[in-house]
Structure 1
Amino acid sequence: MAQTDGQTHPASADDAWAHTARHASRTTFFFDFDGVLSPITKKPGESQPVAAVPVVLERLATKVGRVAIVSARPVDFLRGRFPTLAHVDFYGLYGLEMLHEGEVVTKPAALEFVEAMRALDADARIALREPVEVEYKRLSVALHYRNCPERAAEVEQWARERAERDGLKIQGGRMVVELKPPVDQDKGMVITEAVQDAACGWYFGDDMSDIRAFDALRAREAVDPGFFGMAIAVANDETGEAVSSAADLTLASPEAVAKFVNDGINRF
């Protein structure tokens, strides 16, 4: 296990905040959006951040080196939910998109799949029908069965067959299966690159894709004993057990995330 200031990881939350305060200028905080900053909603387009979140994130960004949201949502969706944030970076679609100097930068290898995803969206709406929610994201299509869990096997089979036919990747999640371009990109890769020059990194997640981000923090610790990573899970009754078992600490809800971070900032 990695060592930080003579302490064995994982540290307590108090120790983690104390370490972060000592290395604030070289600390990065990463947050998933759905289930972490926003409650999960029956319709994906209705999700909004908890009321306290924008102020807390902006406040945090004045205290540490960097704050970023790393989400399966497109960057434009995140910008719409956080129109007032001036010092928070956005990674969309697992890192296929990034907001850079006011412009959305897309991984070039993914751009050739825009038309394929548009066709996939149209076909999914015909084949699956409501109450399955088909979410078009330009470079991916998410099939949500939260409103009809009894159709999970049907939706997942359709996704597997379509992925095999079109050479796409599948990402599972909380009552959702997502079809993505066959581009090597995930949240763990975002974190691996982003913490290369950091002394400390925090990641808050609630779903299976977030475990790769946790793993990236662990991998960084393994090669750099001076680096400290803190993996925070957000409880839920769908993927919560798997995510919590990979984390250092579990919080109860997005509201608890906002309070936890705000209380931590007060320690600086």
Structure 2
Amino acid sequence: MDFTSVEGEQRYAALVRAAADTVVGLDFDGVLSPIVDDPAAAHIHPDAGEVLVELAGQVRAIAVITGRPARQALDLGGLEEVGQAVGDAGKELYVFGQYGNERWSSTNRRVISPRPPAGLATFLREVPRVLRRADAADAFVEEKGLAVAVHTRRLDDPDAVFQRLLPLFRDLAAQHDLVIEPGRNVIEVRSHGMHKGLAVNTIVEEVGAGGFLFAGDDLGDLEAFDAVTALGHGGMPTLLVASASEEENALVEHADVVVKGPDGVLDLLRQLTEDARDLRA
């Protein structure tokens, strides 16, 4: 792992000392799972389950905070089995899906979800027209129940198509009182009122966290970064981790630590587990 500053190293050391009271928050795509062309094929890193179970023994709780539906993250990540093992260790695994609108925990093993936002169904019916207008009829449209995501990754020039679509979908979303969440070759449209930063604050309050680590990979994680930064300004030990790649480094300038993709994230979590265990010994 690469610290971005001396202060980043100091924050890591403080977090190790506060590990027993710390919540570790993790995005799914790009953090626990490699980014792939087909979102349905984004399976969790094969080592992640073991790493998370070992980590759980040293921290207060672990929370996967993702834009994916919670059920999808659970299935692709095998997280129900991981949650069972974490629970057996007397700790808690949370999954906050769709930016915190859905939630699951290893204690309450069912997904709690609100109704879809008003205007989403009408928005969805208008998506094909917008795609044709932007010469992007082959973009992959993912219906997520509480949101719609339009992926350009499979197209010949994904970045150019993304740039053409973004203002069009921003205008259409505004007409239906929805918000845009741009990501890595994906534009997500969802309701107001919930984002990853609120999910961070929710779990901090619920478990009485005394520290927080969050690892993300793209612009959809900025609100979580902002929430964790605010916690740090309030005196809580915190650490911000950017999972960077050749095609996405939007969070690097905001991070305390930069790692290379899911492999780097898991190496960091192994190190945190080892350092916290050694400190307790």
Provide the secondary structure at the position in 2 that maps to 1:217: helix
**Distance in 2 separating the partners of 1:127 and 1:217:** 36
The residue type equivalent to 1:255 in the other structure is D
Which residue number in structure 2 is paired with residue 168 of structure 1? 178
The reply on whether 1:178 has 2:182 as its aligned counterpart is no
Structure 1 counterpart of 2:251, which letter? Answer: V
Q: Are 2:141 and 1:134 aligned?
A: yes
Matched with 2:89 is none
Structure 1 CA distance for aligned equivalents of residues 181 and 39 of structure 2: 16
Distance (whole Å) between structure 2 residues aligned to residue 42 and residue 82 of structure 1: 17
Give the TM-score taking structure 1 as reference length. Answer: 0.85
Q: Partner of 1:4 in structure 2?
A: none
Cα distance in 1 for residues equivalent to 2:203 and 2:6:
21
Deviation of 1:17 after TM superposition, in Å, equals: 5.2
Residue equivalent to 2:117:
113
One-letter identity of the residue aligned with 2:271: D
Q: Give per-residue Cα distances to partners, 1:188-211, cap 9 Å, x unaligned.
A: 111123224222110000111212
Partners of 2:20 and 2:168 lie apart in 1 by 47
Between the two proteins, the alignment pairs up a number of residues equal to 251
The one-letter amino acid paired with 2:117 is F
Offset of residue 154 of structure 1: 3.4
Q: Which has the higher contact order (CA 8 A, sep 6+)?
A: 2
Following the alignment from structure 2 to structure 1, what is the Cα–Cα distance between the partners of residues 148 and 224?
22
What amino acid does structure 2 have at the position aligned with 1:90? Answer: V
Shift of 1:126: 6.4
Q: Give the equivalent residue in structure 2 for 1:124.
A: 127
Gaps of 5+ in 1: 1-7
Q: What CA deviation, in whole Å up to 9, does each residue of 1:69-109 have, x standing for no partner? A: 00000100011023321132100011011114012122x4x
Equivalent in the alignment of 1:85: 82
Match of 2:227 in 1: 216
Aligned to 2:7: 10
**Cα-to-partner distance string for 1:219-265 (whole Å, 9 max, x where unaligned):** 11222x2x10100001124440x301001010011111112211321
**Cα deviation code 1:106-127 (max 9, x no counterpart):** 2x4xx1527x434544543565
Please point out which of 137, 140, 161 is paired with 1:151. Answer: 161
Taking the aligned partners of 1:265 and 1:120, their CA distance within structure 2 comes to 45
Counterpart amino acid of residue 92 in structure 1: G
CA contact 1:125–1:134 (8 Å) conserved in 2: no
2:263 aligned partner: 255
Instruction: Quote the RMSD (CA, aligned, Å).
Output: 2.2
Instruction: Please list, as runs of the form range in 1=range in 2, the aligned pairs for 1:214-253 lying within 5 A after superposition.
Output: 214-223=225-234, 225=235, 227-240=236-249, 242-253=250-261
Stretch of structure 1 that moved more, 166-175 or 208-217: 208-217
Give the corresponding residue for 2:90.
none
Is 1:192 equivalent to 2:192 in the alignment? no
CA distance in 1, matches of 2:252, 2:212: 18
Contact 1:208/1:239 (<8 A) preserved = no
Q: CA deviation at 1:158?
A: 3.4
Instruction: Identify the residue that residue 60 of structure 1 maps to in structure 2.
Output: 55
Structure 2 unaligned regions, length at least 5: 87-92
TM-score, reference length from structure 2: 0.81
Deviation string, structure 1 residues 3-55 (Cα, Å, up to 9, x no partner): xxxxx98341xx55543443332110000011111111111111111111111
Q: Could you tell me which residue of structure 2 aligns to residue 34 of structure 1? A: 29
User: What residue in structure 2 maps to residue 95 of structure 1?
Assistant: 100
Return closer, same or farther for 1:45/1:248 CA change in 2, 3 Å cut-off. Answer: same
Is residue 230–residue 248 contact of structure 1 (8 Å, CA) maintained in 2? yes
Compare 79-88 and 197-206 and name the one that shifted more.
79-88
